[in-house]
A and B are shown apart, each in its own frame.
Chain A
Amino acid sequence: MTSLTAKDKDTVRSFWAKVSGKAEDIGMDALARMLIVYPQTKTYFAHWKDLSPGSAPVKKHGITVMNGVGFAVEKIDDLKAGLLSLSELHAFTLRVDPANFKIISHNILVVLAIMFPNEFTPQVHVSMDKFLAALALALAEKYR
Chain B
Amino acid sequence: MVEWTDFERATIQDIFSKIDYDIVGPATLARCLVVYPWCQRYFGNFGNLYNAAAISSNPMVAKHGTIILHGLDRAVKNMDDIKNTYAELSVLHSEKLHVDPDNFKLLTDCLTIVVAGQMGKGFTGEVQAAFQKFLAVVVSSLGRQYH
A interface vs B, CB < 8 Å?
A: 32-33, 35-37, 53, 106, 109-110, 113-114, 117, 120-123, 125-126, 129
State which of A33, A35, A117, A126 has its C-beta within 8 Å of the C-beta of B117.
A117
Task: Kindly provide the distance from the CB of A136 to the nearest chain B CB, expressed in whole angstroms.
Answer: 16
Give the tally of cross-chain contacts (CB within 8 A): 53
- Cα separation A124 to B56 with both chains bound (whole Å): 13
State which of A36, A37, A109 has its C-beta within 8 Å of the C-beta of B113.
A109
Q: Say yes or no: A37 contacts B125, CB within 8 Å.
A: yes
- Residue of A at shortest CB range from B120? A114
Known: A36-B126, A113-B114, A120-B117. 9 other contacts (CB 8 A): A33-B128, A36-B128, A53-B125, A106-B109, A114-B121, A117-B118, A117-B120, A120-B113, A126-B52
B interface size (C-beta, 8 A):
23
- Residue of B at shortest CB range from A121? B52
Residues of B within 8 A of A123 (CB): 34, 52
- Residue of B at shortest CB range from A111? B116
State which of B35, B119, B121 has its C-beta within 8 Å of the C-beta of A125.
B35
Interface set, chain B 104-146, CB cutoff 8 A to A: 109, 112-114, 116-121, 123, 125-126, 128-129, 132
- Cα separation A10 to B119 with both chains bound (whole Å): 29
- Cα separation A125 to B129 with both chains bound (whole Å): 21
Q: Is the interface of B mostly helix, strand, loop or mixed?
A: helix
State which of A37, A122, A129 has its C-beta within 8 Å of the C-beta of B52.
A122
State which of A33, A113, A120, A122 has its C-beta within 8 Å of the C-beta of B30.
A122
Q: In this assembly, does B83 line the interface, its C-beta being within 8 Å of a C-beta of chain A?
A: no
11 CB contacts below 8 A, A to B, read A33-B125, A35-B125, A36-B129, A110-B116, A113-B113, A113-B117, A114-B119, A117-B118, A120-B117, A121-B52, A122-B35
Residues of B within 8 A of A35 (CB): 125
